[in-house]
């Protein structure tokens, strides 16, 4: 385990990945195939992909968090000859993959959101139920932390973050409370302040859940990165290659849904234009007419999978 970090047990940071069987199935993993896990995390999906791709399969694993790359390397130690793990942002996957021999792939996986290790590690600031610094960055040395945002942004800017990225209906009330009580430096300070502002649990979730989500998305620029990552992933696929994306909240899923809808169409000109002027051609065929969600049995075994939503597409040969 990386020095200076605390988690409760190995089982927590080598957590069972969500929709594991469904991911391998929709990737159509085959022996000798070449794959990219653009969000390798602790390596759970990558391990299953490599097992299904044996013999001869290869996998490139990418993650922005240097600590979880170390965990994935340990988990995949028996696949050293067939796996390559690098630290980086998945928006860079094309430039990372090319020199390593992964420029054209049979499948790309993007499992969005936090890893179990990040949630369970006290010093990262992702958990609203564990005391820790308000950091929330996937790469702890890049960009502004959540505490910087909370303690320096205006009330209006904070309200926009909570409203747009957390879909929090009482965003202005939370922003006002933050401004009145700052500086805020720990996760429990923020969680307790939001709870006091909004009251008790709503529909079974912690009242600070949406505020934490909004801050995490903001400091990591997650939504823009997803858009760029989807384009990069699609361009790396061979004809017939599969893209699988797992999202965990409506903002992520909406981006994935809209991207696949647009890329599976030919002309995307507005209906008011009588003749096509866009020259757009479909690049993918959607494989999931509806989102794929975990079974009740999986949610029972792995409660963190309950909000997972999978969508998949196949790269077309005429694009």
Q: What is the CATH number of the domain that holds 143?
A: 1.10.150.170
Residue 130 — very low, low, confident or very high, per pLDDT cuts 50/70/90?
confident
Are residues 305 and 232 in contact, defined by beta-carbon separation less than 8 angstroms?
A: no
pLDDT digits (tens, 9 = 90+) for 166-192: 999 999 999 999 999 999 999 999 999
* DSSP β-ladder status, 309-315 and 284-286: antiparallel
pLDDT of residue 18: 95
| Mean pLDDT value across residues 205-215 | 94
Using 50, 70 and 90 to split pLDDT, how confident is the model at 13?
very low
57 pLDDT more than 50: yes
Residue 237, pLDDT above cutoff 70:
yes
Domain assignment present for 240 = yes
Write the CATH number for 283: 3.40.50.150
Predicted confidence band of residue 202 (pLDDT cuts 50, 70, 90): low
Give the mean pLDDT of 225-229.
98
Task: Assess whether 29 and 113 both reside in one domain.
Answer: yes
- Residue where a domain terminates, one of 170, 191, 220: 220
The pLDDT of residue 49 is above 60: yes
> Is 284 found in the same domain as 246?
yes
Number of domains the chain contains: 2
User: Are the C-beta atoms of residues 38 and 93 closer than 8 Å to each other?
Assistant: yes
Q: What is the mean pLDDT of residues 136-143?
A: 88
Same domain membership, residue 113 and residue 19: yes
Residue 3 forms part of a structural domain: no
At residue 200, the pLDDT reads 72
More confident residue, 235 or 201: 235
Q: 2 lies in a domain?
A: no
pLDDT computed for residue 5 by the predictor? 38
Q: Does 208 share its domain with 292? A: no
DSSP state at residue 174: H
Please tell me whether residues 141 and 83 are part of one structural domain: no
Res. 278 pLDDT band, cuts 50 70 90: confident
Cα distance between residue 166 and residue 163, in whole Å: 6
Q: What pLDDT score does 14 carry?
A: 56
User: Mean pLDDT across the stretch 65-75?
Assistant: 92
Predicted confidence (pLDDT) at residue 199 exceeds the cutoff of 90 = no
Last residue of a domain, one of 186, 220, 254: 220
Structural domain that includes position 48: 10-117+222-315
Is 122 within the bounds of a domain? Answer: no
Instruction: Please give the distance of CA 236 from its chain centroid, rounded to a whole number.
Output: 19
Q: Indicate if the pLDDT at residue 270 is higher than 70.
A: yes
Asked if residue 236 belongs to a domain, the reply is yes
Instruction: Classify residue 72: in a domain, yes or no.
Output: yes
Average pLDDT, stretch 254-281?
A: 88
In the block, which residue shows the tokens 């600031």? 125
Q: Are residues 175 and 30 in the same domain?
A: no
Pair 248, 112: CB distance under 8 Å = yes
**Residue 204: predicted pLDDT:** 72
- pLDDT the model gives residue 318: 61
pLDDT of residue 119: 75
Assign 247 to helix, strand or coil. Answer: strand
Does residue 200 sit within a domain? yes
> Are residue 111 and residue 227 in the same domain, yes or no?
yes
205 pLDDT tier (thresholds 50, 70, 90): confident
Q: Tell whether 69 and 161 lie within a shared domain.
A: no
Residues 14 and 113 in one domain: yes
In a domain, 174, yes or no: yes
Whether the pLDDT of residue 10 is over 60: the answer is no
Do 134 and 190 belong together in one domain?
A: yes
Is 60 exceeded by the pLDDT of residue 124? yes
* Residues 216/126, Cβ–Cβ less than 8 Å: yes
Please list, residue by residue across 113-150, b when 16 or more beta carbons sit within 10 angstroms of its beta carbon and e when fewer do: bbbbbbbbbbebbbbbebebbbbbbbebeeeebbbebb
Of 205, 220, 235, which closes a domain? 220
Q: Are residues 203 and 245 in the same domain?
A: no
Verify that 153 and 22 share a domain, yes or no: no
Check pLDDT > 80 for residue 24.
Answer: yes
Residues 97-103 have a mean pLDDT of: 95
pLDDT(317) > 90: no
């Amino acid at each position: 385990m990386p020095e200076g970090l605390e988690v409760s047990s190995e089982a927590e940071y080598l957590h069972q990945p969500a929709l594991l069987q469904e991911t391998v199935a929709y990737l159509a993993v085959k022996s000798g195939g070449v794959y990219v896990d653009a969000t390798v995390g602790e390596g759970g999906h990558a391990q299953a992909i490599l097992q299904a791709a044996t013999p001869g399969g290869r996998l490139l694993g990418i993650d922005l968090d240097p600590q979880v790359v170390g965990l994935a390397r340990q988990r995949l130690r028996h696949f050293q000859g067939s796996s390559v793990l690098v630290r980086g942002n998945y928006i860079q996957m094309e430039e990372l993959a090319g020199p390593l021999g992964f420029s054209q792939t049979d499948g790309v996986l993007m499992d969005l959101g936090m890893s179990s290790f990040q949630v369970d590690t006290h010093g990262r600031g992702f958990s609203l139920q564990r005391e820790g610094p308000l950091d929330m960055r996937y790469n702890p040395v890049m960009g502004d932390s959540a505490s910087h945002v909370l303690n320096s942004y205006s009330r209006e800017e904070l309200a926009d973050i909570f409203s747009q990225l957390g879909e929090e209906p009482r965003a202005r009330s939370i922003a006002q409370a933050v401004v009145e009580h700052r500086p805020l430096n720990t996760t429990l300070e923020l969680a307790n302040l939001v709870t006091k502002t909004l009251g008790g649990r709503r529909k079974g979730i912690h009242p600070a859940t949406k505020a934490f989500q909004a801050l995490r998305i903001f400091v990591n620029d997650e939504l823009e990165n997803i858009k760029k990552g989807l384009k990069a992933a699609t361009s790396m696929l061979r004809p017939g290659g599969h893209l699988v994306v797992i999202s965990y909240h409506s903002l992520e899923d909406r981006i994935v849904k809209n991207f696949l809808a647009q890329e599976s169409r030919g002309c995307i000109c507005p209906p008011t234009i009588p003749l096509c002027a866009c020259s757009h051609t479909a690049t993918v065929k959607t494989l999931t007419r509806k989102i794929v969600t975990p079974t009740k049995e999986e949610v029972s075994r792995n409660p963190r999978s309950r909000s997972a939503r999978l969508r998949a597409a196949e790269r077309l040969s005429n694009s």
